[in-house]
Amino acid sequence: MLFKLQKPDLANIDQNELILAFIDPKKEDVHDFVNKFSKTEYLYWDKIQYKEPSPKNVSKEMLWSMIKLIRRQNSLPTVISDKNKSFFTWLKLDYFEEFFHNLDMNTGGELFVEKNDVSSANKQKLITRGIMEEAIASSQLEGAATSRQAAKKMLREGRKPINQSEQMILNSYLAMKAIEDEYKDSEMSMDLLLEFHGLITKDTLDSEGEKPRIRNAQEPICVVDRSTGIVYHEAPSSKFVDDELQKLIKFTNDELKTPTFIHPIIKAIMIHFWIGYLHPFTDGNGRLARLLFYWYLMKKGYWAFAYLPISKAIKKSPIQYSMAYVLSEQDDNDLTYFIDYNIKKIKLALHEFNEYLSKQTKNNVQMRDKCEKKYNLNMRQIQLLQYLQGDQNERTSLTAHMNVNQITKMTASKDLKDLLKKGFLDCKRQGKYIFYYPTERIKEIF
């Protein structure tokens, strides 16, 4: 059963009364209510019908009609069309410009981490952390049934995945790293799109037990809630998808003219939505959509987004994420719902990263003063002990220490041997692997 939005009955709305309400200067409460939900809080009817206080002697249906009218008057066209060849539109909400300004000041240059006194060595570590978190959360959104802790341990230690869920996470992690290392300056093409899809679906199977691939005319795709069986999206025909993918490729390469300038953040979100709407592959569409979001921003110079696991923020409200798609498709192709949702998640990811960075910076300064003077430890060693402290079952390995800090085998080995010698670590061999565990002596530091 296809999910349908609840829509108000507007058949009895008097159009003359509607126009009079717009032009009557005495109706300030009406104008304030309508402007608030047209330019600031972008809500759908299901929420607006319960919003109070609302103007007296004006029905919620009338208010909704006014809100919809203002939205239509101020909307901007996109190059994205639905399966009926009607174009999606979007609005610049009041908070967008300030947000973009702050973002441009902080995510395209050194200020993003320099203001917190982050060393160049730690920048790479923070990028590795961000990529790990993004890979895990993006895969979990698509059904990967692995805990964050277990997944991080797998990635840190370089262990081979033992099931499809872990393979999904590893694929997403390697794809994110490949974007940063190899693809961020590449032009988009059909071959590159297929290559990205191949990276995130390597050694996994779709719902039919086959290798994920681009779908054909006999393979309609539906986005279904596994618990209820409700269909939230029916993907368009493969013929329509083939045509739209060519447009999308030109759009990502900035080859399509648009009526007005589109900020790169908005454009990246549009690319995200476009892939999700088309669902061109038998599996991996969601992960590919979020991967392209990052790829486009890296290409446009927003390298600091490598620090920000947006999918981790999205995973806190997965139903709202799905509904952002539904609202954009079913409420007159209004893409503002999806853009607004994603910008709020970017803001959340920025806030959480800055909190993490501030806390880490404070802890690092305290630990550095203590550990450098008393125990002659470097920051990699201090941060490893911070990670291990408080849990005797936590562990690391030579590979994990190399992966987390992006250092050579020789440097990692020297760090660990020094901590063994000073009594902060103990080591145990398990098969061909050696793992390092915390000892009681860590309590002297923390």
* Helical residues (DSSP H) of 107-186, grouped into ranges: 111-114, 120-141, 148-157, 164-178
76, β-bridge pairs? 90
**Helix (H, G, I), strand (E, B), or coil: what is residue 328?**
helix
Same domain, 100 and 70: no
Are both 420 and 345 inside the same structural domain? no
Instruction: Please tell me the distance from the alpha carbon of residue 399 to that of residue 396, in angstroms, as a whole number.
Output: 8
Does 189 share its domain with 323? yes
Q: How confident is the model at residue 110 (pLDDT cuts 50, 70, 90)?
A: very low
Q: Within this chain, do residues 177 and 144 fall inside the same structural domain, yes or no?
A: yes
Residue 326 counted as domain residue = yes
User: Domain containing 408: what range?
Assistant: 375-444
Longest dimension (CA), the chain: 85
Q: What is the CATH number of the domain that holds 392?
A: 1.10.10.10
pLDDT score of 226 more than 60:
yes
Phi, psi (degrees; rounded to nearest 5) at 396: -140, 180
Question: What is the predicted pLDDT for the residue at 392?
Answer: 66
At 5 the pLDDT is 95
Residue 79 inside a domain? The answer is: no
The beta-carbon contacts of 188-194 under 8 Å, at least 24 apart in sequence, are 188/249, 188/252, 188/253, 189/249, 190/245, 190/246, 190/249, 193/245, 193/249
> pLDDT digits over 129-154, tens only?
899 999 999 999 999 999 999 999 89
CATH code, domain with 249: 1.10.3290.10
Element (H, E) at 330: helix 318-330
Rounded Cα–Cα distance for residues 290 and 373 (Å): 45
Count other C-beta atoms under 10 Å from residue 320's C-beta.
14
Tokens in use for 113? Answer: 């981490």
Q: Are residues 23 and 151 both part of a single domain?
A: no
Is 111's pLDDT higher than 50? no
Q: Which residues contact 238 (CB under 8 A, 6 or more apart)?
A: 215, 216, 217, 219, 280
Q: What is the pTM of this model?
A: 0.87
Give the contacts of 136 (CB within 8 A, at least 6 positions apart).
Answer: 144, 146, 148, 151, 152, 155, 169, 172, 173, 312
Give the model's pLDDT for residue 390: 63
423 or 105, which is more confident? 423
Q: What is the dihedral of CA 338, 341, 344, 350, to 10 degrees?
A: -70
Q: Can you list the alpha helix ranges (DSSP code H) found in 8-59?
A: 15-23, 28-39, 45-48
Compare 374 and 160 and report the one with higher pLDDT.
160
- Give the integer Cα–Cα distance in Å for 331 and 337: 9
Say yes or no: 379 and 327 in one domain.
Answer: no
H-state helical runs in 253-317? 264-278, 285-299, 310-314
3-state secondary structure of 427: strand
Highest mean pLDDT among 56-60, 123-127, 135-139, 349-353: 135-139
CB 298 within 8 A of CB 180: yes
CA–CA separation, 91 and 319 (whole Å): 23
Is 183 found in the same domain as 126?
yes
User: Could you check whether the bond before residue 53 is cis, i.e. omega within 30 degrees of 0?
Assistant: yes
CA–CA gap between residue 280 and residue 242 (Å, rounded): 8
Vertex 251 angle, CA 245 and 252, to 5°: 90
In a domain, 312, yes or no: yes
Which pLDDT score, from 0 to 100, does residue 112 have? 53
Q: Kindly indicate the confidence band of residue 120, based on its pLDDT and cuts at 50, 70 and 90.
A: low
203, 163: one domain: yes
Q: What are phi and psi of 77, to 5 degrees?
A: -75, 155
Give the whole-angstrom CA distance, residue 187 versus residue 286. 21
Residue 366 lies in a domain: no
Asked if residue 322 and residue 216 are part of one domain, the reply reads yes
Burial (CB < 10 A; 0-12, 13-18, 19+), residue 348, is middle
Do 54 and 99 sit in the same domain of this protein? Answer: no
As a whole number, mean pLDDT of residues 296-319 equals: 91
Residue 1 lies in a domain: no
Share of the chain above pLDDT 70, in %: 94
- What is the helix (H) or strand (E) element at residue 430, kind and residue range? strand 425-430
Query: Is the same domain home to 292 and 439?
Result: no
Structure tokens at 71: 């939205």
155 and 45 within one domain: no
For residue 31, give the nearest of 63, 57, 1 by alpha carbon.
63
In a domain, 186, yes or no: yes
Model confidence pLDDT, tens digit, residues 227-263: 788 899 999 999 999 999 999 999 999 999 888 899 9
- The number of folded domains in the chain is 3
